[in-house]
Amino acid sequence: MRINDVRQRVTTPLTSPAFPPVVPKFTDREYLNIVYRTDPEALRAVVPEPLEIDEPLVRFEVMKMGDVSGYGPYTEAGQAIPVTFDGERGEYLHAMHLDNFPATASGREVSAYPKTVGAPRLYVDSGALVGTLDYGTLRVATATMGYKHHELDPRTAEEQITVPTFMLKTIPGYDGTPRVQELVRTEITDLVVKAAYTGPARLQLFQHVLAPLADLPVLEVVAASHILTDLTLAPVKPVFDYLKGARS
């Protein structure tokens, strides 16, 4: 394989790449979102500067991807933390667990999504929308929400989903020190809200050393939503370089 051919490849193995070179488009992406109040000191211990925290809130999410170009269906769960950067409100993605290797590899390598393994599920059980996350054989999170109790204004649902997203991109060098270490920003585009609901909700988090979601404990459930959408993820852009100590 010639040098120019190698340069055209975005991932390895060269002859069977870990993920396709596509911009993923999501059809029938279903969300269960539960926003809860947590310990402010626990938040400060995990949110990197120069991001700033206003209220001690966390959004636990389970997302069932009905159809994703290049990856097929999969489910994902994790935590997002409301933050501000240079006066702009957004969310810092703290943890993401999913059951699809190409989507995991692409999210980490091409972008900066903090994706790792997990076994999330989203389903309806006896009048409740249920979202769970297992790591291996152990339960990490169980979320329940009344199924379609109240319709949610589509504009409110859109505002919940389209806030800017901040992530930490770290790539180690061969000597073990960071070769790239940046705060990056992305957002959702081409959003179509097909359905949106709210209702009562509960959330339980369980201790696990490799999936420490419970390090941000649930003190009070603030809000919940169930949303069905089509959307596209925009490419990431660096906004702060930790190695240079400067904004990009």
Give the catalytic positions in this structure.
115
Cβ neighbours of residue 229 closer than 8 Å, sequence gap 6 or more: 26, 28, 29, 30, 31, 157, 161, 191, 192, 193, 194
Residue 224 backbone phi and psi in degrees, to 5: -150, 150
Count CA atoms within 13 Å of residue 152 on its CB side: 26
Contact (CB, 8 A) for 229 and 63 = no
Give the residue from 133, 129, 150 showing the smallest Cα distance to 198.
Answer: 150
The encoded tokens of residue 209 equal: 């050393």
